Amino acid sequence: MLLIHQVPPKPDYARVKIRRRLQSIGAVPLKRTVYALPASDQSREDFEWLLREIEQLGGEATICEGSFLEPETGTRLIAAQRAERSREYGEIAASAQRESGDVDRLKRRLALVSGVDHFEAQGRADAEAAIMALEQRKAGAEPAESPEGGMRGRTWVTRVGVHVDRISSAWLIRRFIDREAVFRFVAPKGYRPEPGELRFDMFEGEFTHDGDRCTFETLCRHFEVRDRALGIIAELVHDIDCKDDKFGRAETAGFRLVIDGIVRAHATDEARLDRGGAVLDDLYAQLSGARA
């Protein structure tokens, strides 16, 4: 998808403003006044907002969609986009490696860069690791080992009749904590834990509600699995499970409807985890700005 534009020479700030906006959405220059993005609904929306800004500044712009007759052109644009995102990831990692780095600022910048990383550029994992190490240094802690180090193939026990917190927590466990996790569903009364089992979202369980935190939030905090997308999901789960509207996100009502639909349509806990996990995978990809 291409944006072909012309910005008037006055006011002086106009060209700088538009150039920065193009950079912020990850557009790649094809020519001086022609910028490209991967064809998608989001790209079209980004360009349409930018077109409106250009016209308000007295300029002209056109949006078009098509394909290049020479494959090399598309390959060059993808390579340029990856190179730019890799450079930005490298800058974030370098900043995080300096003791004076601002963790929150770096996290916000990483979220912005990853949101326009359309072609999975190299360097994101290094930037995330550098930010996590910086956060641990500032907290006076030694770098933690991967959560999976001692959490592989454990049996995770929870109550039968799973709903939003247990569905989401099980997804979090298998996706980020123990990829080989085995889940067991038991009645809340009369159950006696077996040696080596880990209980979640259960009374006196190892991982459950802690203060005003739901189980999903407790797991994120304990195993230090944090990023912007997980933070948003945690807020959705919290408001639905705790029913206190603490975060009040606009997405909460829609997420609640989906979870309620899964629970209504599937009687078994295994089926609910499967369906809920697929939904959460897609939601996490969307919130992370990941390429489908």
Indicate if 163 and 265 belong to the same structural domain: yes
The full DSSP string for 115-143 is HT-TT--TTHHHHHHHHHHHHHHHTT-PP
Q: Final residue of a domain: which of 16, 39, 64?
A: 64
Other CB atoms within a 10 A radius of the CB of residue 292 amount to 6
d(CA 164, CA 202): 14
Range of the domain at 89: 71-138
Indicate if 152 and 257 belong to the same structural domain: yes
Indicate if 151 and 241 belong to the same structural domain: yes
Find the length of the chain: 292
Return the pLDDT at 100.
Answer: 55
Measured distance between the N- and C-terminal CA atoms of the chain, rounded to whole angstroms? 17
Q: Final residue of a domain: which of 18, 37, 64?
A: 64
Q: Which residue has the tokens 């369906």?
A: 275
Return the pLDDT at 106.
Answer: 84
Indicate if 42 and 81 belong to the same structural domain: no
* Strand order from edge to edge, sheet including 2-6: 28-31, 34-36, 2-6, 60-64
Indicate if 162 and 255 belong to the same structural domain: yes
Indicate if 114 and 55 belong to the same structural domain: no
Q: Per the structure, how many domains does the chain have?
A: 3
Output the tens digit of pLDDT for each of the chain's 292 residues. Answer: 999 999 988 887 888 889 888 988 889 888 889 999 998 888 888 899 899 889 988 999 999 998 888 888 889 889 988 999 999 999 998 888 876 567 877 887 888 788 888 888 899 888 888 888 887 777 654 444 444 445 688 999 999 999 999 999 999 999 999 999 999 999 877 788 888 899 999 877 899 988 889 999 999 999 988 889 999 999 999 999 988 888 999 999 999 999 999 999 999 999 999 999 999 999 999 998 744 3
Return the pLDDT at 51.
Answer: 92
Nearest to 85 by CA among 106, 112, 50, 107: 112
- pTM for the whole thing? 0.51
| Structure letter (DSSP) for residue 152 | S
